A and B are shown apart, each in its own frame.
Chain A
Amino acid sequence: MRSIVGEIVSNSESVTVMDMEASIEHMSRGTVRYADVLLVVLEPYYRSMETAGRTAPLARALGIKRIYGIANKLRGASDAEAVEAYCRNHELELIARIPFDENVTEADRIGRAVIDYDARSPIVKELSRTAGFLLRGAPASGNGTGGN
């Protein structure tokens, strides 16, 4: 059964970005079926990675062709390594490694978008590479350790 969001998405000619429910298990199957790309956000702790690890096979079963992980709030090399290892072992391709970024908290505290608060913040720089990758299929990513 199709969902209404899915109907809107499938009829739209623009690029669409759907900010979905926390877990694909709760998502309307009809909506997700219209996605060409599923981005799964994961943090470097076990429960978050496990949730992402369950999401990828479900998404594949729904026929979504491009499924990628986005690692967020990475503090240092051991966080990055933990996420990399987990994703390798669960066939989830990581396309972004976002360091823990204080700008997100600061922007949120004053009710602004982080891209407006500081367009040069680490999260914005990393996601800019991600946007480029998604739009043209070029490989891109930083190393998630907070460098400029």
Chain B
Amino acid sequence: MKIAISGKGGSGKTTISATLTRLIGRRGFPVLAIDGDPNPNLIQALGLGSGIVAEAVPPNVVAREDQNGATRHVLTTSIADIISQYGLKAPDNVTVLVGTKVDHAGAG
């Protein structure tokens, strides 16, 4: 199940995202949390503390392939590798990635 959460700044979206993520993980499901907000605060909200800075996943994990005149995006490395290199472990079966740098690279 892939859940996206949106909301105006100040609405409590990040607190809700983090709390819901921890609660799903607490029920025994491994959860991948992705911070796509231009002001990434999800790591702190998940309970990892304010001193931790995660390295954002860089845009070069995806390459563009041109095939028959169409452009495809393909991962240049496996999900497992992305997670092991950039993912942070949070309590309750949660892994968090900061996806800010990569999300806008592919916007369209």
Q: How many interface residues does chain A have, given as a range? A: 35 or more
**Chain B CB within 8 A of A38 CB:** yes
Contact of A35 among B4, B23, B74 (CB under 8 A): B4
Contact of A5 among B8, B18, B31, B99 (CB under 8 A): B99
**Cβ contact within 8 Å between B34 and A1:** no
Min CB gap A87→B, angstroms: 14
**Cβ contact within 8 Å between A40 and B6:** yes
**Cβ contact within 8 Å between B16 and A98:** yes
Binding site secondary structure of chain B: mixed
Min CB gap B20→A, angstroms: 5
Min CB gap A134→B, angstroms: 7
**Cβ contact within 8 Å between A19 and B13:** yes
**Cβ contact within 8 Å between A16 and B36:** no
Q: Which residues of B contact A (CB under 8 A)?
A: 1-9, 11-24, 27, 29-38, 42, 44-47, 49-50, 57, 59, 61-62, 71-75, 79, 82, 91, 95, 97, 99, 102-108
Question: Would you give 23 A-B contacts (Cβ < 8 Å), ordered by A?
Answer: A1-B107, A4-B105, A5-B106, A8-B97, A12-B32, A14-B30, A14-B32, A19-B36, A21-B37, A22-B7, A22-B8, A22-B13, A35-B2, A38-B3, A38-B4, A39-B5, A39-B6, A41-B12, A104-B15, A111-B44, A114-B15, A115-B22, A130-B20
With A18-B99, A19-B13, A134-B3 known, 7 other A-B pairs at CB within 8 A are A2-B72, A5-B103, A8-B75, A17-B17, A19-B35, A35-B2, A115-B23
